[in-house]
A and B are shown apart, each in its own frame.
Chain A
Amino acid sequence: MSAYPDALARLIEELGRLPGVGEKTAERMAIHLLRAPQAEALALADAIRAVKESIRVCALCATLTDRERCGVCEDPARDRDLLCVVEQPNDMWALEKVGAFRGLYHVLGGRIAPLDGVGPEQLTLGRLVERVRGGAVREVILATNPTLEGDATALYVQRALAPFGSKLTRIARGIPAGSTLEYASRMILTDALEGRRAL
């Protein structure tokens, strides 16, 4: 039998389900919430409820949004001829933080990993094909992760989009800026040499 009152025990149990949160951390969080002003604790509860009730998939690019279409898709200043394909909304948000890309996105919702039972039909590939089939996309940048599954996904998307005439490109890979060749791995060095460009 738990020494905690039932409501507190339940809160600790629920917080303990969060990624990276162990039993002791969950206890500390729960005690903190218990001691916090009521408005502060309820604001957290409201935020969780709002996220669960309002977040949905963008009707165009399949990222997460709280409207029919996300802010990027609705932005008239965006280059609508340029499409960047990413695996997850997190990847899109990472690129948006950099602020270097002014086109639109398409979120696949994962990557093809046949050995894990994830096939192309579980991604938003059909919707991507429909977007490109329209013919208004000048270039599609395949920005899936440089892992084996990410590369496989990029190859699959490349094959699916090849008939439509858009320019297909893959994000560059190689040595990160600020690092040194001496400490780069074999794979990174191979990528960097193969992806060299003329000056």
Chain B
Amino acid sequence: MAAIKTPALTVGRIDYSETSQIVTFFAREHGKVKAIAKGAKRKKSAFEGALDLLALNEIVFLERGGDGLSILTACVMRDGFPELRRDLDRLNTALWIVELLSELTVEGVAHPELFDQAVATLAALARGAWHPLSLSRFEAQALGHLGFAPRFAGCAGCRRSLDGEERVVFSCRLGGGLCRACRAGHEGVFPVAPGTLALADGLAAGRVTALDRVRVAEPTLADLRRLLTRYIASLAGREPRMLRYVT
């Protein structure tokens, strides 16, 4: 087994035995990695607090063979984002990001841009450099990195522009908005304002960069949150656990 060294975020952990844990990392060059951390719960564990959720670490693991677990041999914390532990709303937002990374990624598929974006977003959240659109921008761009980018611009049915439509609906199954002509017969759709889709498109494509100059009305923000979280929930196949805690 080859030893692999990589930066990684801790996105999950469960007890495996009296002293060991199975830890899930989102590693920059290796995507989701599940590794057994032997002795992690001992008083004198070599991993100490590095295995706590949300920690940005430098890990070394022995890659699994077949379906077996990888073995964690070293884990040094680079940033534990301690500021997040002092504010419940910020901590819940960070845990939502962790859940998104854990739920929507698969083992062994690397997403280095998503990793960098997640670390930058957590760091901004920890610093307090946060805008009401920051989380939506992360979600919209994360969906693109993961290959789940919805069709925010144009009708997902006929591909025509949605300009001029007063109200469109969004289909999670088709992954996009539907014009008046195409919406008939589609179940599980929900209404969304065309302006919200345009904003989501701008965030996903990286056209909306200087967030501090953007003013968004509260109803549009609520519409955007609903659009993204319902789509993410449909991809995950269940209601994400952190959703009820994220404001």
Q: Which residues in A have some Cβ–Cβ distance to B below 8 Å? A: 19-20, 114-115, 117, 147-149, 151-152, 155-156, 158-159, 185-188, 190-191, 194
Q: How far is the CA of A88 from the CA of B11 in the complex (A)?
A: 25
Note all chain A residues with C-beta closer than 8 A to B245: 114
Q: How far is the CA of A194 from the CA of B85 in the complex (A)?
A: 13
Interface centre among A114, A151, A156 (most CB of B within 10 A): A114
Flag if B54 contacts A148 (CB, 8 Å): yes
User: What are 6 A-B interface contacts by the 8 Å CB criterion?
Assistant: A115-B98, A147-B49, A148-B54, A159-B88, A186-B76, A187-B50
B45-81 with Cβ < 8 A to chain A: 48-50, 52-54, 76-78, 80
Which of the residues B78, B91, B241 comes within 8 Å of A151, measured between beta carbons? B91
Please judge, given known A-B contacts A114-B245, A115-B12, A115-B241, whether A185 and B91 are in contact too, CB under 8 Å.
no
Flag if A155 contacts B88 (CB, 8 Å): yes
Q: B18: nearest residue on chain A (CB-CB)?
A: A20
Note all chain B residues with C-beta closer than 8 A to A186: 76-78, 80
Flag if B52 contacts A191 (CB, 8 Å): no
Q: How far is the CA of A147 from the CA of B86 in the complex (A)?
A: 12
Q: B83: nearest residue on chain A (CB-CB)?
A: A194
Give me 20 other A-B pairs in contact (C-beta within 8 A), A159-B88, A185-B49, A188-B48 excluded.
Answer: A19-B18, A20-B18, A114-B92, A115-B53, A115-B242, A147-B49, A147-B52, A148-B53, A148-B54, A148-B85, A149-B53, A152-B92, A152-B95, A155-B88, A158-B88, A185-B50, A187-B50, A187-B52, A187-B80, A191-B82
| Shortest Cβ distance from residue B178 to the other chain A in the assembled complex, whole angstroms | 33
Interface size on B, residues (CB 8 A): 27
Note all chain B residues with C-beta closer than 8 A to A148: 52-54, 85, 91
Flag if A114 contacts B80 (CB, 8 Å): no
Q: Which residues in B have some Cβ–Cβ distance to A below 8 Å? A: 12, 18, 48-50, 52-54, 76-78, 80, 82, 85-88, 91-92, 95, 98-99, 102, 241-242, 244-245
Note all chain B residues with C-beta closer than 8 A to A114: 92, 95, 241-242, 244-245
Note all chain A residues with C-beta closer than 8 A to B77: 185-187
Q: Is the interface of B mostly helix, strand, loop or mixed?
A: helix
Flag if A151 contacts B12 (CB, 8 Å): no
Please judge, given known A-B contacts A148-B54, A151-B91, A156-B88, whether A188 and B18 are in contact too, CB under 8 Å.
no
Note all chain B residues with C-beta closer than 8 A to A185: 48-50, 77
Note all chain A residues with C-beta closer than 8 A to B99: 115
Q: How far is the CA of A151 from the CA of B87 in the complex (A)?
A: 10
| Shortest Cβ distance from residue A30 to the other chain B in the assembled complex, whole angstroms | 20
Flag if B82 contacts A190 (CB, 8 Å): yes
Note all chain B residues with C-beta closer than 8 A to A158: 88
Q: How far is the CA of A194 from the CA of B99 in the complex (A)?
A: 28
Q: How far is the CA of A190 from the CA of B80 in the complex (A)?
A: 10
Which of the residues B48, B50, B95, B241 comes within 8 Å of A117, measured between beta carbons? B241
Note all chain B residues with C-beta closer than 8 A to A151: 85-86, 91
Q: B82: nearest residue on chain A (CB-CB)?
A: A190
Q: How far is the CA of A107 from the CA of B48 in the complex (A)?
A: 26
